[in-house]
A and B are shown apart, each in its own frame.
Chain A
Amino acid sequence: MAVAERPTTTRTGTDGLSVRRRGLRSFWPQYAAVSPFYVLFLVFGAFPILFSVYLSFTDWDGIGDIKFVGLQQYAFLLQDSRFWNAVSNTLIIWVISTVPMLFLALVMAFLLHQNIRMKGFYRVAFFIPNVTSMVAMAIVFGSVFSDSFGIVNSALTSLGLPTVAWLSTDWGIKITIAVMVVWRWTGYNAILYLAALQAVPDELYDAAKVDGAGFWRTFFSVTIPMLRPVILFTVITSTIGGLGLFTEPQILFGAANGNGTVGGVNEAGMTIVLYQYNQAFSQLDFGYGSAIAWALFALAAVFAIINWRLLRDRDAVPRVGSRAARRRTKEVAR
């Protein structure tokens, strides 16, 4: 078949049907070219995902026999107060980190967008936390927020304020983790906002000026609406990051801290992913760990639907300064 249908060297590529018929065999170099990704994905992505579906219906310690237990892991999950505590911790930390983070990022981007000196230096400086080693960072934060010897409490004392047991109280732990998230991601989001700000056409500002809009009116009626797609994009990425929060609590309160306080005192810093990791790889309950993973998936799906509803019928998310912006320019000009 291959010989008979083999196309000549002068093919034009317009005959779609014959191209389709030639199929796998004559295109194998192309398939081979894209295969490394798919092979790696099948082995390290698809297989573990599917296997974890299966595992969530079983009881397995990682070595012995895999015992099928039906929905028992999920039933246990529903009445497991430690899991629900992890869910609420994750959501609380997400809110108290995302809100200040995006606000600060917007302010930062706005300031960087002004005509200031050493712009390049600030841009790099604000981005550096994002590429700093998380482990080193968690150790530094552990010292900075230390209950009795940290500089935060020293500063509070010198201001005559009462000290806070950052690393051993419910809210202290959550705030410390949130501060780490804010520190790491504010610069990253500021760079995104800055890019969006630079894509806002000057004509809009000029038009606003002509119409007699003041500084704040311009900010809220021109800048914010033009940034809306990017703001939504950063909210989505922060949601993804927030639901998957792991490294910060793991290093601050995890196994590295010789006392085995996983998640900190009263598990106040126990997040969903940390709990999942703890159940699977420390407690060797892979079935339950998988069930937690799928519960997290369900939770993430809920957030995805909310995001999708928010975005539906409106602009696509990451198209900064593209056709959408130009279309608006025209609308405004009209």
Chain B
Amino acid sequence: MTSPRPGGAPGRPPSRRAVLRAGFAGAAGIPLTAALAGCGQGTSISSNPSELVLWYWNRSIAPSLLQKAAQQIPGTSKRLRADVIGGAFDSKLRTGFAAQAYIPDITAVNSNAALYFPSEDQFVNLDDYGAQDFKDDYYEWKWNLGRTPTGRFLFFPMDTGPTGFFYRSDLFEAAGMPSQPDEVSAAVRTWDDWIAFGKQLRESSDVALAGNAVMVFNQFVNASPQRYFDKDDKPLFHEPGSAIREAWDTAVKAVRAKVTRNLQVENEQNAAWNSGKLGANIEGAWWMKVLSDTAPDLSGKWRIAQQPGLPGNSGGSFLAVPKTSKDPAAALAFARWLTLPENQAQSYNEIQLFPSAPKAFTTGLMADSGGFFGDQDPLAFFSTAAENVPTTFISTYENQTTAFTDQLRVVESAGKDPDQAWDDAVVAVDKLLKKRGVI
């Protein structure tokens, strides 16, 4: 810091003002003018006509493929500039749409794609560029998640998260329970079987099958053809025997049988898996990587069995093309190239993104799990599971339904009466849906 100069006091001769004038024209004026001028540049991030800007988040696209596309997007004359966006991805993208400025030419969208249904006019209908020609190369249930209720196809499939029942075979064996994947799969064919199995395990060796009731509830819903709303956004959970009510009842039964462990915070769950108090989890294929990273010492002890009922899907992202994109056809060409079977195999090997194209498994390029699951081949398991995931519809209003899981947590952790909790949840969700004008 400079010390105050002798001329610092007010009321000095004009020469002082001249200095000020010159100084501030330079220091304050130019950056401000530049910043304001930037607002008028239009919607594109890059003014270079042969450069398409992609927004993605870390670990959503394999770096080696982005490097290739940075030279040239195969089959087009364009190059890709990939900008990795930090936190609050959706907020940043939506801010661009609100301002109609700084919108990428192609963007990754996470499994919450339904968030964009009310703003679907911001995106290009990929059908207009022939996306349907590729339909048969992807899992049907994944492909259908990319379509809005009005029938426009906006979200091109990237990766998926078919689910399975991960479990500690050594703990099961020590408790005298079935421990081979086939045996376990057969023993937990229905949710009631699963709860009975878990009850026996908890009683004999104090090992729980699920971290908390909400995890059971969510995986039940993830594997259900019917979810919270139908395609017209009409709520389904009021009806007796709805999937949501079944999921709720199953989760409550699991709590009562002490199959869940009331671990409401992620830290706790990780610690419980590590210490063997939690011996299982139903989760998407990507959890293999999470598990081998957080608990490397347990290598060889985990196995994967079929979960009760059908497998579900948990997570998985998409690519979408904003309507302001410089070249939607080239953007779609990039999406198609990125998700070719051999490139999806490479994405799996590099950052464990589970493919959306079944042919990726037959390329012979996908690496094995290095024995983390003993002699079991998790790829064989999940490629089979992915074939059986039911087709479903995720409504944009599902983010108004958190009262169900919130109330379920209270049932588990504070012993609230489940029927009262269900009624409270329905009232709370209905209130929000009324506010949104859905019902």
A residues near B (Cβ < 8 Å) are 9, 11, 13, 28-30, 32-33, 35-36, 39, 61-64, 76, 82, 142-143, 146-149, 165, 167-170, 253, 257-262, 264-267, 281-284, 288
Decide if B119 is an interface residue (CB 8 Å cutoff).
Answer: yes
Given contacts A63-B97, A165-B413, A283-B399, whether A32 and B28 have CB atoms under 8 Å apart is yes
A-B contact pairs, 5 of them (CB 8 A): A32-B29, A61-B119, A148-B277, A259-B214, A281-B88
Bound together, the chains give a CA A30 to CA B14 distance in angstroms of: 12
Which residues of B are found within 8 Å of A258, using beta-carbon distances?
Answer: 266
Contacts of A169 in B (CB 8 A): 413-414
B residues sitting closer than 8 Å to A (CB atoms) are 10-11, 13-14, 17, 20-21, 24-25, 28-29, 32, 88, 91, 94-95, 97-98, 115, 118-119, 122, 212, 214-215, 262-268, 271-272, 275, 277, 399-400, 402, 405-406, 409-410, 413-414, 428, 435
Residues of chain B contacted by A148 (CB below 8 angstroms): 263, 268, 271-272, 277
Question: Which of chain B's residues have a CB closer than 8 A to the CB of A262?
Answer: 402
User: Which one of B25, B115, B264 contacts A167 once the chains associate, using CB atoms below 8 Å?
Assistant: B264
Q: Which of A33, A63, A288 has the most CB of B within 10 A?
A: A63
Q: How far is the CA of A327 from the CA of B221 in the complex (A)?
A: 72
Query: With A62-B94, A148-B271 in contact, do A283 and B400 touch (Cβ < 8 Å)?
Result: yes
Query: Are B94 and A30 within 8 A (Cβ)?
Result: no
What are the residues of chain A within 8 A of B263 when measuring CB–CB? 147-148
Q: How far is the CA of A148 from the CA of B208 in the complex (A)?
A: 14
- Which of the residues B10, B14, B402, B414 comes within 8 Å of A265, measured between beta carbons? B414
Please tell me if the beta carbons of A35 and B28 are within 8 angstroms of each other in the complex. yes
A19–B402 Cα gap in the complex (Å)? Answer: 64
Can you list the 4 inter-chain pairs with the closest CB atoms, starting with the nearest?
A29-B20, A32-B24, A149-B271, A168-B264
Q: Using A148-B271, A265-B409 as known contacts, say yes or no to A64 and B20 having CB atoms under 8 A apart.
A: no
Q: Judging by beta carbons under 8 Å apart, are B409 and A261 in contact?
A: yes
CB < 8 Å neighbour of B265 from A147, A267, A284: A147
Within 8 Å by CB of A9, from B13, B212, B399, lies B13
Contact A63 B28 (CB under 8 A): no
Beyond the given pairs A29-B21, A147-B265, 8 more chain A to chain B contacts, judged by CB atoms under 8 angstroms and listed by A's residue number, are A32-B21, A63-B97, A149-B268, A149-B272, A149-B275, A165-B413, A265-B264, A265-B409
Bound complex: CA A265 to CA B268 (Å): 14
A190 to B12, CA, bound (A): 44
> Is A265's CB under 8 angstroms from B413's CB?
yes
- Docked pose: A11 CA to B94 CA in angstroms: 56
Contact B264 A33 (CB under 8 A): no
Q: Evaluate contact between A146 and B266: CB separation under 8 angstroms.
A: no
CA gap between A35 and B267 in the complex, in Å? 48
Shortest Cβ gap from A217 to chain B (Å): 47
Q: Smallest CB–CB gap between A221 and chain B, Å? A: 44
Chain A residues contacting B262 (CB-CB under 8 Å) are: 147, 165, 168
Distance between B85 CB and nearest chain A CB, rounded to angstroms: 15
| Cβ–Cβ < 8 Å partners of A33 in chain B | 20, 24
- Min CB–CB distance B365 → chain A (angstroms): 31
The chain A residue with its CB closest to the CB of B432 is A283
A170 contact set on B, CB distance < 8 A:
414
A168, B119: Cβ atoms closer than 8 Å: no
Cα distance A310–B99 in the bound complex, in angstroms = 46
Instruction: Determine which residue in A9, A28, A259 has the highest number of CB atoms from chain B within 10 A of its CB, and name it.
Output: A259
Residues of B within 8 A of A259 (CB): 212, 214-215, 264-266
Across-interface contacts of A28 in B (CB, < 8 A): 21
| Distance of A284 Cα from B435 Cα, bound (Å) | 13
Please state if B271 and A260 are interface contacts (CB–CB under 8 Å): no
Q: Across the two chains, which residue of chain B brings its CB closest to A36?
A: B28
CB atoms of A267 and B406 under 8 A apart: yes
Q: Is B271's CB under 8 angstroms from A265's CB?
A: no
Indicate if the CB atoms of A147 and B268 lie closer than 8 Å: yes
